Structure 1
Amino acid sequence: MQKGLVHIYHGDGKGKTTCGVGLCIRAAGAGMKVLVFQFLKKNDSSELNILRNLPNITVMDGLDSAKFVFQMTEQEKAKARDFYENAFEDICRKAVKEEYDLLFLDEGLHAVNYGMLSEERLLDFLKNRPEKLEVALNGYHPSEALLNAADYVSRISKEKHPFDQGIPERLGIEK
């Protein structure tokens, strides 16, 4: 059994989710058992369509009516926070009980930054997870504590992006 490590993909560039999905596909291709959860995204991201159909990968559904946090009312934020905190507990329990090899928490850093997931709970899980469990997180602005908990840290920087020219996200490319 190999020791599981922690990956963080962060920055303002495109490709953080793509890195995590690539890791999931590679792990599943090697026969590893993979669990995927997306924070702060609808359950219709194109990558989920293929991941749901690959052997060795389980996708747990997020909050389907997810809006951008800045668009939410305080009541919607409280409801989302409760959902994500409970979902994280379920994810951790499932990852441990069913002996997964890789857990990908897509937009996990955003969930922490927007107060939808307790950083303390996340750090506690990373510290006390099963030894073989690999964990990947992505998003913006990881705290010093999360950076210190990681074994791999990759910064993905934007140099140029079509959004800056007013080009909306495109199916199969950005969503």
Structure 2
Amino acid sequence: MTKGYIHVYTGDGKGKTTAAIGLAIRAVGAGKKVCILQFMKSLAYSEQKILQSLPGITLITLGKPYFIAKEGMLTDEQRKTWGNHIRIYPAGHPPKDYREMTLKGIEQAIDAVSKNYDMVILDEYNMARWYDLATEEDTGKILKARRPEVELIFTGRNAPKEILDAADLITEMKKIRHYYDKGVPVRTGIEN
């Protein structure tokens, strides 16, 4: 039995999900079984099309067709930009339907790390924690259920302390410059 490790890809720079997907493709190429749970993402991302077609990868998306934000997080101008595609909530009280969806995802994550997958990727789980959709207790359940040989990958900004403490590998993607800051919108096939 080969020991699995816990990876964290965090920070404000681009490439966290991309790094995790690269690991998934490499693992499948080596004959391993991979489960990718994408928290806070609906089926609207280009990479999902190819991931769904690859034998050896199970892809589960756990997102709504709207964005969420804590009260005070966005300026009035940012809120106008999002229009009807955002729900604002008081800190500590996320939308109930989103929390329930996340809890289902956590149960699926517990099942995945304790059963027959070689690699489990919890994409944007760090952000689910930051947005109060998942708790430290939820994270503890996932970590406790993990078989020692499972490679477990967490992605997303704002990685919480309990995940950083458990990690064997931490990579912080740091933004030096980004064209978003010049008003370039999300581009299909690059960011979406």
Structure 2 residue aligned with 1:172: 189
1:90 is displaced (CA, Å) by 2.3
The question of whether the paired residues in 2 share the 8 Å contact of 1:40 and 1:66 is answered with: no
Structure showing greater Rg: 2
TM-score calculated relative to the size of structure 2? 0.84
Matches within 5 A, 1:41-52: 41-52=41-52
For residues 27-106 of structure 1, what are the structure 2 equivalents within 5 Å? 27-63=27-63, 65-70=64-69, 71-74=86-89, 77-97=95-115, 99-106=116-123
Structure 2 gap ranges (5+): 70-85
User: Partner residue of 2:141?
Assistant: 124
Q: Give the Cα separation in 2 of the matches to 1:165 and 1:111.
A: 27
d(CA) in 2 for partners of 1:132, 1:66: 35
Name the Cα RMSD after superposition.
1.6
* One-letter amino acid of the counterpart of residue 65, structure 2: A
Q: Distance in 1 between matches of 2:145 and 2:58?
A: 22
Displacement of 1:143 in angstroms is 2.3
Q: 5+ residue gaps in structure 1?
A: none
State the aligned residue count.
173
Deviation of the 1:159 alpha carbon: 0.7
Aligned match of 2:77: none
Moved over 2 A (4+): 73-76, 94-97
Q: TM-score of the superposition, structure 1-length normalised?
A: 0.92
